[in-house]
Amino acid sequence: MSGIGLRGVLRVPGVSRLLAAQTFTVFGDTALVLSLAVWTENRTGNSSAASMTIFAFLVGVVLAPSAGRFVSRHQPRWMMALSNLTAGGIVLLLLMAEHVPFWLVYPFAALYAFAGSIFAGVLVGYLREQVAEPLRVPVNAEFQSLQQVLRLVAPVAGVWLLETGGNGLVVFVVTGTLVVGAVLVLLCPDVDVPPEPALPGPRWGSYGLIWADRNLRRVSVLAVLGNGAQGFAQTLGFLVIQHSLHRSAGFIAVFVTIQSLAGIISTRIGAFRRITQPVRLVRIGLLLAGVGYAVLLLPGLYPVLGAFVIVGAGLPWVRIGYTSALQNYSTPATASRIALAGQSLLSLAQTAFIAVGALLGLFVDWWVLAVTMVVVFLTAAAIRGPATPPAPALPPTDPRPTEEVSR
């Protein structure tokens, strides 16, 4: 049953509306990120100022788990709708950006990412309660596949909107997508989420919940290692183009495109969807990425293209497996908080390694970065994951998803 396709996934109550809500929300998010960076560079003429907008988004993502306790006390669909509407209000403030000091774009971006991260984290917790455990992998695969598609087309659409109608058109479209996403979420069914026990919380808040649980801690180490190593790819791609392929920097678009397409195709493979152990999916994704970067070391254009196909096929399964593990190893009361913290950890690790990779790229050859990534990915894939299955804290609140699919 866990190998069901899109039609089976859409029969799970609420999932079709959630997929539609995510389509509008992620499209707006992804279109805004790049267009905001381009707008900043157009206004300041400074590439560093533009790249700082990406850093501001990261700050918002990392700080989002601080809202975990507030989020866990409210109905998930209302929290998702509120986060979208809040993000839409923040986007409207960008209309003033041309009439105020440009640096105000950074706190706006951080606040926007803060609200958007809450939507993503609560979505994971909502799916935990709405979807029976055997169906979580294929459902998460559909959501990840959709993200791969949107990340391929939305940035281009955002820049086109900016060049066509300026900042005002971008704000209008992004705000509209967020509002539509909020409305669709409100049409989804409620789920029963018990209140979190009023006990002293672990140190470091939501991050402490991950660290305190042995299974969550071990699977998080695997995913963080993989996401961190992937941060080197931001520098590695340009170095390979320059020193190995001897082509212009614009060739990076080819790498991005084939990697995204490989990810979309990979998430449609039923053999992966039938794997019921999320940690195994994480390790398979890490293994494929490690093999891909090993192929990158071979000379010639075709091995390089093949390498990014293999890497693109593996990386989505790291995130799918990790998302499913966060759901399986959490409780109804803590699922959203743990998801917020887990996603923030991945973003923090990748961004930190982007900076480290950029620095190393000034002093070492590209193949040193590639070898380092191969070692990290393959070592992480070989690390033993959680050995004990998660014990559900409460019985399923609604068996209808499984029954609905079986019919």
DSSP string over 10-40: HTSTTHHHHHHHHHHHHHHHHHHHHHHHHHH
Q: What is the pLDDT of residue 407?
A: 34
Q: What is the pLDDT of residue 87?
A: 93
Answer for the pair 134, 2: CB distance below 8 angstroms, yes or no.
yes
CATH superfamily entry for domain 204-384: MFS general substrate transporter like domains (1.20.1250.20)
Task: Report long-range pairs for 261-264 (Cβ below 8 Å, ≥24 apart).
Answer: 261/152, 261/312, 262/308, 262/309, 262/310, 262/311, 262/312, 262/313, 263/144, 263/145, 263/148, 263/312, 263/313, 263/315, 263/316, 264/145, 264/148, 264/149, 264/152
Q: What is the pLDDT of residue 392?
A: 45
CATH superfamily entry for domain 1-193: MFS general substrate transporter like domains (1.20.1250.20)
What confidence tens digit (pLDDT) does each residue in 98-151 have? Answer: 666 777 888 988 999 999 899 999 999 889 888 888 888 989 998 998 888 888
What is the C-alpha end-to-end distance of the chain, expressed in Å? 11
| Residue boundaries of the structural domains of the chain | 1-193, 204-384
Residues of the chain with pLDDT under 50: 1-2, 199, 390-407
Q: What is the pLDDT of residue 400?
A: 40
Q: Enumerate residues 6+ apart whose C-beta is below 8 A from 85.
A: 178, 179, 182
Answer for the pair 37, 159: CB distance below 8 angstroms, yes or no.
no
Strand, helix or coil for residue 158: helix
Q: What is the pLDDT of residue 368?
A: 94
Quote the CA–CA distance of 374 and 99 in Å, as a whole number.
Answer: 48
Q: What is the pLDDT of residue 315?
A: 95
Q: Do 204-384 and 1-193 fall under one CATH topology?
A: yes
- pTM higher than the cut 0.95: no
